[in-house]
Amino acid sequence: MESLEEKVVAVIIVGGPAEGTRFRPLSFNTPKPLLPLAGRPMVHHPISACKKIPNLAQIFLIGFYEGKEFALYVSSISNELQVPVRYLKEDKPHGSAGSLYYFQDQIMEDSPSHIFLLNCDVCCNFPLPNMLDAQKRYGGMGTLLVIKVSAESANQFGELVADPITKELLHYTEKPETFVSDLINCGVYIFTPKIFDAIEDVYMRQEDRANVHHVTSFEALQITARSPPTDFVRLDQDILSPLAGKRQLYTYETMDFWEQIKTPGISIKCSALYLAQFRIASPDLLAKGDGTKNATVVGDVCIHPSAKVHPTAKIGPNVSISANVRVSPGVRLINCIILDDVEIDENAVVMHSIVGWKSSIGKWSRVQADGDYNKKLGITILGEAVTVEDEVVVINSIVLPNKSLNESVQDEIIL
């Protein structure tokens, strides 16, 4: 029987302002991890998945955003899940492995037997209890969540080779120039506390390389220029690659969905994936309606309880409507994310778009895009407090905050 004393903690890497640039203008005033997907902040999905881990003691969010940007959310989610959630601010980036080591004392407060490490910008079903069971079977220092992808897209990620029988990680390379494998790293891990020894070993080797007392000053400058800072340790290149094939790391393959949330376009796709997951795991979170008392709902739709949606509107599929939104008669919403306090007037259409906070869309206007989530202008984004006046069409465009559009635009970035 599993010991009740055997505690587990989870660490979620949330990054910092410099890493959210591809989400501008949405990330100007809101940290990327707090942008909503399927009606919940991006970071909420891995946090709620951690709640299912047996004997979970704490959840740590590590990043270099200001603490005040996460304070309200951390307090709210801690109360909601009844699990301690803490935000730990780095003084500077230390790398995904270095940040673990930097906060080792806090992470090890409860003497956990296992430590989950998740990247915030990963969208998947997070099979964390299964990974914990697998890690206990395998032994070793840690287990990576992996998935098979097309050979054409594999080189965008960390490719790896695993033993088909034992599942041991045999080889790992980050974004290789030539094809290695269609098996990639999902950015979700579980480790034993031995991971701290491995990180410390990397620090020691880096310090040794930085010790250039016995070389010329010119050679010392060359070494310094080539080497990363001695307090920066990358999980992939510095830990996974060297330990592959040494019976220390293993893999757990998921057959479910997985995406890396790199762009706003991908966030619309990920919102759809989470909404589909709600249909199975939490159907009460999805809206229903047939056009009589409530709006007609098609497919998976999430509507905040404070939103006002007219019964003649038609919503879905894949629509997320946030707090205090007002949707007027005859509106059509498809594949879009509508953020707080937006007003959409009569007979407007929004499709393949993200509409920023406090924006307004006039009567008979259209805000739409082609829906190619991999293109920069494959979706339309309205920043905060954008006004689209009546009968204006906005196609495949990005509009910065506080702009007013009184004429139609296509394939433009409105500064």
Report whether 187 contacts 174 (CB < 8 A): no
Angle at 305 between CA 34 and CA 284, to 5 degrees: 90
Average pLDDT value for the chain: 89
**8-37 mean pLDDT:** 86
**Interval 46-99: pLDDT, tens:** 999 999 999 999 999 999 888 888 888 999 999 998 989 999 999 888 888 888
**366-392 mean pLDDT:** 92
Neighbours of 31 (CB within 10 A): 24
Max distance between CA atoms of the chain, in angstroms, equals 82
Strand ordering across the sheet containing 404-405:
308-309, 326-327, 343-344, 360-361, 387-388, 404-405
More confident residue, 393 or 69: 393
pLDDT at 233: 87
Report whether 301 contacts 283 (CB < 8 A): no
**Interval 280-297: pLDDT, tens:** 888 999 999 888 889 999
- d(C-alpha 344, C-alpha 183), whole Å: 44
More confident residue, 181 or 299: 299
Residue 133 in this model has a pLDDT that exceeds 70: yes
Residue 402 in this model has a pLDDT that exceeds 90: yes
**157-182 mean pLDDT:** 86
**Interval 216-229: pLDDT, tens:** 444 444 444 444 45
Report whether 289 contacts 297 (CB < 8 A): yes
**Interval 22-31: pLDDT, tens:** 888 988 888 8
Task: Output the pTM of the full model.
Answer: 0.88
Residue 2 in this model has a pLDDT that exceeds 70: no
- d(C-alpha 331, C-alpha 309), whole Å: 9
Helix or strand (DSSP H, E) at 222: helix 217-226
Between strands 142-148 and 183-191, the pairing is antiparallel
- 127 confidence band (pLDDT: 50, 70, 90): very high
pLDDT at 92: 82
- d(C-alpha 48, C-alpha 288), whole Å: 24
- d(C-alpha 190, C-alpha 115), whole Å: 6
pLDDT at 236: 87
Report whether 352 contacts 333 (CB < 8 A): no
**Interval 308-347: pLDDT, tens:** 999 999 998 999 999 999 999 999 999 999 999 999 999 9
Share of the chain above pLDDT 90, in %: 62
- d(C-alpha 269, C-alpha 265), whole Å: 7
Neighbours of 329 (CB within 10 A): 12
pLDDT at 182: 87
DSSP 8-state secondary structure symbol assigned to residue 65: S
Between strands 332-338 and 40-41, the pairing is unpaired
- 406 confidence band (pLDDT: 50, 70, 90): very high
- 230 confidence band (pLDDT: 50, 70, 90): low
- 203 confidence band (pLDDT: 50, 70, 90): confident
